[in-house]
Structure 1
Amino acid sequence: MSLHVTEFLLNPTQHELGPVIILFGDDRYMKQEAIKAIEPIVLGDEEDTSLTRFEGKRLQNELPPSALFDELKTVSMWGDKRLVIIDEAEKYVSAFRSKLEKYLESPSKSSILVLDVKSWSKSTRLAKLVAKIGLDLECKELKGGPLAKWISDTAGKIHQKQISRDAALLLIEMVGTHCGQIHQELEKLATFVGDQPRIGPDDIRAVVGGWKAETTWAMTGALRDGNISDALRYLDHLLIAGEAPQKILGGLTFVWRKYFKAAQLAVQGTPLKQALKEAGVFPRDIDSSDRYLRRLSRQRAEKISQWLLNTDLNLKGNSRLAPRLELEQLLFLLSGKL
C-alpha cells in the first residue's frame, strides 16, 4: 500500500504494516515521526531490546552481506516482533537489491524491516513486492491545499482545535511548508488560545510573527485601502524598531506578487475576483483587493513586479538613496499616489 506519511500519522494503528516499510522522500522530520509511530505498534514495551538500527553506509561497506538478513531472522528473546531500521539506505538498496527481493519473497514473520531512502521507483520488482506485502510512505513536503488540510487535521486530532482555512494559509505563509516547524507553531497556538475552540488569523499573527508581523500586515492593509499616511506610519514604526529593510520589502513582495499575478490573469480574461482567488489572495481580502486593483488601474498594476524588483536591487546597492526613502517611494507607487 502507498500513502503519504501524513495520512499514516493521523491514525497509525489502522494500517497493516506488513514485513517491510519504505520511507521515501527528503523530509527528515516526517520520517522520524513515522518511526516514532511505528516503534510502539511493533514493539510494545520492548522497544530497546527488540530494535536494531543500521546506518546504510556502514551496513554496506563494513559489515558482511548477511548481517541484515541474519538480524531479520533472529527471534526476539523478549517480544513477539523485531524492528530493523536502515537509515540512509539508498546506496544499500541499490547494491543489495536482488538479495532484498529474494528476502521479501519469503520474509520473516517476526520482523519488520524499515528502509529510509530518498527516492523510490515504483516500477522496480522490489517496489512491486513491497506494494503487495508492505507499506511505502511518501515523506515529501506538502504544499497548497493538501498542506492546509494536514494543518486542519493535525490541529483537530492532536490539539482538539479548529483552524480556519485563512488561518492555515497564513500559518504556511509565515512559517513555510516544513511540517516540523508548523507542528511546533501549532503547539504554541493551542496553548495561546487556551479554552477557545478555534485558532484564527489574529492568533497566528500574535503568536508566530509577534508585533512586527502584525505591523507589517497592518501596513499592507492600509496601503491596499488607500491610507498612505497610515502605511508610512507603520513603516516608520518598523524601521525605528530595527526591522531590516529587506525583510519589510519581503512582506510587501509577498502580498503584491499575488496582485501582479491576478492582474495578469485578468488581462487574459479571468474575472478579477476569480483572478485574485487563483492568485492566492485570502478569501476575506478578495473584495478589498478587487477595489484596490480597480483603483490602481491595469496599466499601473502591470508595473508592480518591476517596482518590487527595482526596490530590491536598490536596497542591495544600486541606489544611493537611504533604505527608508526607497521603501517610502515604493509605498507611494503601490498606493497609486506617485
Structure 2
Amino acid sequence: MSSPAPIVACVGAEPWLREEAIRALAAQCGAPGSAVLDTVSYPARETAPALIVDAARTPPFASPRRLVVVRGPLDADDEALGWLIRYAQSPTASTCLVVEFEEAPPAALRAARGVLQEVACQPLRGGDLAAWVRRRMSEAGGKTLAPDAAQALAARAGADLSRLAQLIEQLALFVGSRPQVTVADVTALVGWSVEERVFAVVDAAIRRDRATALRVTRRLVEEEGVAPEELLGALGKHVRRLWQAVRRVEGGTSPAQAVQAAGVPWRAQAAWIPLVSRLSSSVVTRTLERLVETDTQLKTGAGTPLALLEPCVWELAGLS
C-alpha cells in the first residue's frame, strides 16, 4: 500500500467520496489499533490556521504518520490560503494533511511538486454512477448486477451515494443466496421514483404522442396521488436535461455524447438523439420558463392543478 502525499486535497462536493477517501488515508497512515490516537479533525471556518499547522507539525504518537483533517471547503484564493501554501513549501513528512476544495486547488499550491495529491470527489453522473453502483455491489455486497440493474437503481434512488450504498447492502440481503441482482429485485425493493414515473410523460412527449402524455399526467395526479408540484419539479428536471443536451450539441458535441453527458436515462437515449439534433436551446428555454410560470401559479392557487399542468405537457409534446 503506497504512502499518501504530505497534503491530500479532496476536490468536489460528494460527501460519501470524501469520507471514503479519508477512511482509506487513515488506514494507510495509522498502525493497527492506534490510528485513532494519531487522527485529528478541525472545522475549516472555525479553526485558526496556526492551530492546524501546529497539529501538522506534531509528531505521531504510535502510528507511522499523523492524519490531520480540515473539514469544510477552503477558499481557493492565494491570500486566504497563504498558510497552506507556506506549509506546502516545507511540509512535515510524518503528517498527512487533508483539505477540501469544491473546485481545483490554486496553481500556487499545485506548484509544490510531490507534495500535493488530489482525490476526485465530484458527484457521479450517468455511466460513472452506474459503474460505481456495480463496483460497490461487488465489493460490499458480493453480488453482480444484471446489465440493466445498475442503471435502474441509480435512476430510482438518485445520485446520493450514501443512500445508494445503503440500498446496495439491502439488495444483497434481499436476494439471499442468488449471485446476481436483477431489475425485478430493484423494483421490488426500491419501487419507482416520481422522477422515473414522470419520465413516461416525457417519453410520450418526445414521441409527440400528446394523447398518451396527457393520459399519463392525469393518471399520476388523479390515481397515483403524485403531488402536482412534485410532478412539475420532476418534469422540469427532465426538460433541463434536454436543454443541457441541446446546448452541448450547439457547442459541437455529437448528439449521442450530449444526451449521455446530460444524464438522460440509458433506455431513452436513442429517442432523444434526433430531438436534440433539431431543437435550439432558445426553444427549450421557453418551455423551461413556462414550467417556472406554472410552478408559481400552482403555489398561488391560480387554477386547478391539471388545468395548469396539461398545457405544459401539450407544449412539451409539440417541441420541434
TM-score of the superposed pair, with normalisation by structure 2: 0.68
After superposition, the C-alpha distances for 1:128-156 in whole angstroms (9 at most, x for unaligned) are 44x42563323332344433333333233
Residue 293 of structure 2 corresponds to 313
After superposition, the C-alpha distances for 1:113-171 in whole angstroms (9 at most, x for unaligned) are 222132553632x5344x42563323332344433333333233332344467554555
Which residue of 157, 181, 205 maps to 1:198?
Answer: 181
Residue 228 of structure 1 corresponds to 211
Kept in 2, the 8 Å contact 1:171–1:204? The answer is yes
CA gap of 1:306–1:162, structure 2 versus 1, over 3 A, is farther
SS in 2 for 1:48: helix
Residue 136 of structure 2 corresponds to 154
Residue 251 of structure 1 corresponds to 234
Structure 1 segments unaligned to the other structure (5+ residues): 1-12
TM-score of the superposed pair, with normalisation by structure 1: 0.65
Computed over aligned residues only, the root mean square deviation of the Cα atoms, in angstroms, reads 4.7
Residue 6 of structure 1 corresponds to none
Q: Which amino acid aligns with 2:28?
A: I
After superposition, the C-alpha distances for 1:8-52 in whole angstroms (9 at most, x for unaligned) are xxxxx4x43244433344433322221122223322211232333
SS in 1 for 2:69: strand
CA gap of 1:271–1:31, structure 2 versus 1, over 3 A, is closer
SS in 2 for 1:45: coil
Higher gyration radius (CA):
1
Kept in 1, the 8 Å contact 2:144–2:179? The answer is no
SS in 1 for 2:119: strand
Matches within 5 A, 1:1-338: 13=1, 15-43=2-30, 44-56=32-44, 60=48, 63=51, 67-68=54-55, 70-71=57-58, 73=59, 75-76=60-61, 78-88=62-72, 90=74, 93-95=81-83, 97-102=85-90, 104=91, 107-108=92-93, 111-118=94-101, 121=105, 123-124=107-108, 126-129=109-112, 131-132=113-114, 135-163=117-145, 167-169=149-151, 171-194=153-176, 195=178, 197-200=180-183, 203-204=185-186, 207-208=189-190, 210=192, 215-220=197-202, 226=209, 228=211, 232=215, 235-255=218-238, 281-285=264-268, 306-307=286-287, 309-317=289-297, 320-332=302-314
Kept in 2, the 8 Å contact 1:258–1:279? The answer is yes
Higher percent of residues as helix: 1
Q: What is the aligned length?
A: 307
CA gap of 1:165–1:310, structure 2 versus 1, over 3 A, is farther
Structure 2 segments unaligned to the other structure (5+ residues): none
In structure 1, how many angstroms separate the alpha carbons of the residues matched to 2:252 and 2:118?
43
CA gap of 1:158–1:70, structure 2 versus 1, over 3 A, is same
In structure 2, how many angstroms separate the alpha carbons of the residues matched to 1:56 and 1:32?
16
In structure 1, how many angstroms separate the alpha carbons of the residues matched to 2:149 and 2:196?
14
In structure 2, how many angstroms separate the alpha carbons of the residues matched to 1:269 and 1:54?
45
Residue 4 of structure 1 corresponds to none
SS in 2 for 1:248: helix
Q: Which amino acid aligns with 2:232?
A: L
In structure 2, how many angstroms separate the alpha carbons of the residues matched to 1:256 and 1:176?
17
